Amino acid sequence: MEGVIAAYRFVHAADVHLDSPLRSLALRDSDLASLVGNATRRAFVRIIDLCLDEQVDALLLAGDIYDGDQTSMKTARFLSEQLRRLSEAGIRTFIIRGNHDASSRITKELVFPDSVKVFGGRAEVVAVERETGDFPVVIHGLSFTQPQAPESLIGKYKAPVSDAVNIGIMHTSLAGAPGHDVYAPCSLADIQKTGFQYWALGHVHKRMVAEGPCTVVMPGIPQGRDINEAGAKSATLVTILDDRTVQIEECVTSLAQFERIGIDVNGIEDWRSLVGRVSHFLEAARQEISSDHLVARLHLTGTTPLAWRIRRDIDLLTTEAQERASVIGACWVEKLETSCQPAHAIAAENSSDPLLELRGLIEREVIGADAFQADLATAADELRKKLPAECRDIFGADEATSRDNLALLARDGMEDALARLHADQKDEH
């Protein structure tokens, strides 16, 4: 159309981690395992579908398409097929590599359609083809070739092209994010000072958006892989309007979303009502989510005379919750936890119940004792040595967190043991 300046539109995604292996041992249910196992691919298909539906100009992938050196040729072929769908629709793809792609040899061998630009180890700026009269758009990219990048990469990018809309793609841990390796660290302020209009970031799996003269987006992983990547996950649809202002829209891509659900069972006295309450919370959570499937971790709290039984029969309650979930549909329970307290434990300080006395004794004399703490730390160290490198933060990444978590585990162990003793005591009567 004459006289009308065309907007520039693209989808920005990152950290697809295609075919990432299942990380949760809790996913023992084979149907759930296959759902979550295929979800990274299906989320990626959704990203491609979004590009096609919205007829965008390009797809920007800001690193970690693959999950690491285990990537198979099958995964690479899947990626190539999907990108060909874009190519056939005249949509370009711009890719940088992330720390997880660096160790994958296949990325380097695979031949993509011509419409796909994979940035190399030197910063480059690519001018996008536009109609005469449209504002010029350039895309800056850089793939760091090593799995570690201890220094900021911002300085390596080229200066903004004057008069053009400058879009940068970068893989970075920003100022640091818990659970993520430090990678090309830099501050948000430094990024905003570059004079670019949009920065397409990747690496941190949690979404972050900063708007202003320079829009900076970390879209997060498009499909969570375990409870630590909970919530709906997305890609970002970006429109640069004819006046060059940037508009963003979050588009959900996750097929299944992990959620922690706290369930207050305070005052519930019979098993049937308990299952009813759990089912009610599951159904409400299922209604609320924006992904197709809910994968729930349930945590029961409150004071109830069922506290002992919940703890002792947690496997049965988990199975009941899973059955309710399957009736609700597209709903799964990956784990059920309890921190419920028995009603009388609080009131009966001077009770003659030997188990309550024992509980008080353990709490007062054992759990807090230095000797016990030391034994616990030694046992944890022994266990940690036997674990693969990626699991060594199992009790926490630093000493204080680790100590707190071990204390929680010790308390949990005490409750488990008491629940068993309580059940045996009942059986004798």
Selected range binding Mn ion among 57-65, 142-150, 185-193, 409-417, rule: CB under 5 A? 57-65
String of DSSP letters for 45-72: HHHHHHHHHTT-SEEEEES-SB-STT--
Contacts of 83 (CB under 8 A, 6+ apart): 48, 93, 112, 113, 115, 116
Smallest gap from Cβ 374 to Mn ion, in A, equals: 38
* Spatial separation of the C-alpha atoms in residues 25 and 47, rounded to whole Å: 28
Selected range binding Mn ion among 58-66, 225-233, 275-283, 379-387, rule: CB under 5 A? 58-66
> Is residue 99 involved in binding Mn ion (CB under 5 A)?
yes
Smallest gap from Cβ 95 to Mn ion, in A, equals: 14
Smallest gap from Cβ 149 to Mn ion, in A, equals: 10
Smallest gap from Cβ 17 to Mn ion, in A, equals: 9
| Nearer residue to Mn ion within complex by CB, 15 or 259 | 15
> Is residue 41 involved in binding Mn ion (CB under 5 A)?
no
- Strand 165-172 and strand 331-338: the pairing is unpaired
Contact assessment for residue 241 and residue 223, using Cβ atoms and an 8 Å cutoff: no
Selected range binding Mn ion among 98-106, 311-319, 324-332, 375-383, rule: CB under 5 A? 98-106
| Nearer residue to Mn ion within complex by CB, 177 or 314 | 177
| Nearer residue to Mn ion within complex by CB, 98 or 224 | 98
Contact assessment for residue 211 and residue 242, using Cβ atoms and an 8 Å cutoff: no
| Nearer residue to Mn ion within complex by CB, 98 or 168 | 98
| Nearer residue to Mn ion within complex by CB, 181 or 416 | 181
Which tokens is 118 given?
């994979």
Selected range binding Mn ion among 95-103, 252-260, 294-302, 316-324, rule: CB under 5 A? 95-103
Rama region for 334: left / alpha / beta (φ>0; ψ in -120 to 50; rest): alpha
> Is residue 229 involved in binding Mn ion (CB under 5 A)?
no
Side chain identity at residue 193, one-letter code: K
Selected range binding Mn ion among 89-97, 195-203, 296-304, 337-345, rule: CB under 5 A? 195-203
Find tokens 């996008």 and name the residue. 128
Rama region for 160: left / alpha / beta (φ>0; ψ in -120 to 50; rest): beta
Smallest gap from Cβ 14 to Mn ion, in A, equals: 8
Among 57, 64, 67, 229, interactor with Mn ion by CB under 5 A = 64
> Is residue 203 involved in binding Mn ion (CB under 5 A)?
yes
Smallest gap from Cβ 47 to Mn ion, in A, equals: 17
| Nearer residue to Mn ion within complex by CB, 147 or 160 | 147
| Nearer residue to Mn ion within complex by CB, 183 or 196 | 183
Selected range binding Mn ion among 41-49, 200-208, 238-246, 265-273, rule: CB under 5 A? 200-208
| Nearer residue to Mn ion within complex by CB, 23 or 277 | 23
Smallest gap from Cβ 182 to Mn ion, in A, equals: 11
* Spatial separation of the C-alpha atoms in residues 379 and 129, rounded to whole Å: 62
| Nearer residue to Mn ion within complex by CB, 56 or 204 | 204
* Spatial separation of the C-alpha atoms in residues 39 and 47, rounded to whole Å: 12
Radius of gyration of the chain (CA): 26
Smallest gap from Cβ 205 to Mn ion, in A, equals: 8
Selected range binding Mn ion among 144-152, 198-206, 235-243, 253-261, rule: CB under 5 A? 198-206
Find tokens 């029969």 and name the residue. 313
Smallest gap from Cβ 15 to Mn ion, in A, equals: 6
Q: What backbone torsions phi and psi does residue 40 show, to the nearest 5 degrees?
A: -65, -40
Residue 83, H or E segment = helix 73-88
What one-character DSSP code corresponds to residue 257? E
Among 43, 98, 101, 334, interactor with Mn ion by CB under 5 A = 98
With CB under 5 A as the rule, give the number of residues binding Mn ion.
4
Collapsing DSSP to helix, strand or coil, 20 comes out as coil
Q: What backbone torsions phi and psi does residue 193 show, to the nearest 5 degrees?
A: -85, -5
Smallest gap from Cβ 62 to Mn ion, in A, equals: 9
Selected range binding Mn ion among 37-45, 196-204, 320-328, 416-424, rule: CB under 5 A? 196-204
Find tokens 């970006």 and name the residue. 238
| Nearer residue to Mn ion within complex by CB, 97 or 309 | 97
Which tokens is 371 given?
């000797």
Q: Which of 336, 340, 354, 347 is nearest to 421 (CA)?
A: 354
> Is residue 225 involved in binding Mn ion (CB under 5 A)?
no
Smallest gap from Cβ 389 to Mn ion, in A, equals: 17
- What value, to the nearest 5°, has the Cα angle with vertex 421 and ends 417 and 425? 170
Side chain identity at residue 104, one-letter code: S
* Residues making contact with Mn ion (CB under 5 A): 64, 98-99, 203
